[in-house]
Amino acid sequence: MSKARKRNGPEPLTVRRLPVTFTRDTRRVITRFFDPGGEVRIRSVVERVAQLSEAETTRWLEVVCQRFRTRHSNVTAIFEQHYDNAMSMIGEADDVTHDRRLLIGSYFTMEYSIEAAALFNPSIVQHQDQRDLPDGAVRFILSLRATGEGHVSSIVFRSGVIGSDHEIRMDPPSRFSHPIGVFPDQEYNKTHFHRKLTEMAVHGTALDVVLEGLGDRFTMAELEHVIAAVPARHLSEEVSEAIRWLARSNYHLQLPPDAEPSEMVIFPQTRNESRGIEDLRMVRFVDDDGTVTYYGTCVAFDGHRVLPQLIETTDFLTVRVHTLNGPRVQAKGMALFPRRIGGDFVMCSRIDGENLYIMRSETAYFWDAAELLQAPRKPWEFVQIGNCGSPLETPEGWLLLTHGVGPMRTYAIGAMLLDLDDPLKVIGILDEPLIMSTEEERDGYVPNVVYTCGAMIHDGQVYIPFATSDTATRFATIALDRLLDRLVS
């Protein structure tokens, strides 16, 4: 920073809102299995379809396919899968013709509009594919929280390019959306598995027997085989269910290899996620050996409690979902730093719902220690302070966007600067918010809220996608050097 700039004081901060807005799109639908009401109702539907002649079956199947094949990339494969699901629920034999199988499957299929209510709480990272771009441009992936029927949240994605003119050009989203399928051959790390069970206070001789029967890495099928081999008198239902709960909470998802980012939907898969997956904070993490992994912290919600989770991928096609573990993994709002510091993974969090903390760990999956970073200090954040995504590395320090909650539950976005080697050392904090809702942004599902789950630096600008009133998403940009000047001074 020049002496003249110090003497004259920092230049004024100007936040520019870009003409890019995301709102709900009721046309974006996925398919889900439809249970009309249990085994009896399923049998009734199957019996009614069985009374149709083969000609009627084929004609009705063609009617259904005609209406829905343009809305889903492989609707007959979906019908086949849902037929199998229904038959497994009632224990029926597989002895019907192909067309009748598909028609029966269509009765147990429904569409779900993933964005029917809102599209908000975005985060942005550099795309893994930077080929075929003009000079000065960068491609990005944007994650968003989509809320549909019943206020169930899922995670969706968009892609786009920031040009050399600092304008954003979004890729048109695909007409199709895919809820990522659960990977059938998921493997578990026994050391991590045992450590989490200990944290859950699951222990005893029977657990030891189960673990001894497993290799260092094992599958769900191998786990079930070992559990079944332990006599029921030695392994209580409570312990066996806890083991299965942990296994089901850690899973892999697989997208077709030719799928676009906008087709990917991370939809609730487990009981812990039954009311939604919320607020993914993505980060492009570069390890000490140069390996790039995309991590995302989020929470699962079952209607009563939140379960912190870690999403991990290298290609946005195979996605691993892990439980986040350790006594310091609590509540919402955890964000990984984009690289190790002093050999450790580092995370910013709000474990008590009010203050900001810094956590360090040898692994990204277990967090045992946390130190207070910052408490609310300004009137616009007296209720609570939290992070707005992963810190951004700059020559001056770690740029951490924050959110504060003030009077009338009004949310605002601020910023602070942390030392690169010791992020517990605060270099500077903005006295006033960077972003507050304008009059036109105040109204929505949750009024008076602006919120982001992650920003990105490119060509001297900080790009901040932010949600307005938990309804829509916009973009803002600010000059990095002016923001750093203000924070340092």
Nearest to 379 by CA among 354, 355, 407: 407
Domain range annotation of the chain: 3-26+117-181+252-488, 29-113, 187-249
pLDDT of residue 125: 98
Q: What is the CA radius of gyration of the chain?
A: 25
pTM of the model: 0.92
Residue 80 to residue 417: CA distance in whole angstroms: 54
pLDDT of residue 181: 65
pLDDT of residue 1: 44
CATH code of the region 3-26+117-181+252-488: 2.115.10.20
In the numeric block, which tokens belong to residue 156? 């969706």
Spans of the chain, pLDDT less than 70:
1-11, 179-185
Over residues 222-271, the pLDDT tens digits come to: 999 999 998 877 888 889 999 998 998 888 888 878 888 888 899 998 88
- HEC-encoded secondary structure of the chain: CCHHHHHHCCCCCCCEEEEEEECCCCCCEEEEECCCCCHHHHHHHHHHHHCCCHHHHHHHHHHHHHHHCCCCCCHHHHHHHHHHHHHHHHCCCCCCCHHHHHHHHHHCEEEEECCCCEEEEEEEEECCCCCCCCCCCEEEEEEEEEECHHHCEEEEEEEEEECCCCCEEECCCCCCCEECEECCCCEEEHHHHHHHHHHCCCCCHHHHHHHHCCCCEEEHHHHHHHHHHCCCCCCCHHHHHHHHHHHHHCEEEECCCCCCHHHEEECCCCHHHCCEEEEEEEEEEECCCCCEEEEEEEEEECCCCEEEEEEEECCCCEEEEEECECCCCCCCCCEECCCCECCEEEEEECCCCCCEEEEEECCCCECCEEEEEECCCCHHHCCEEEECCCCEEECCEEEEEEEEECHHHCEEEEEEEECCCCCCCEEEECCCCCEECCHHHCCCCCCCCEECCCCEEECCEEEEEEEECCCEEEEEEEEHHHHHHHHHC
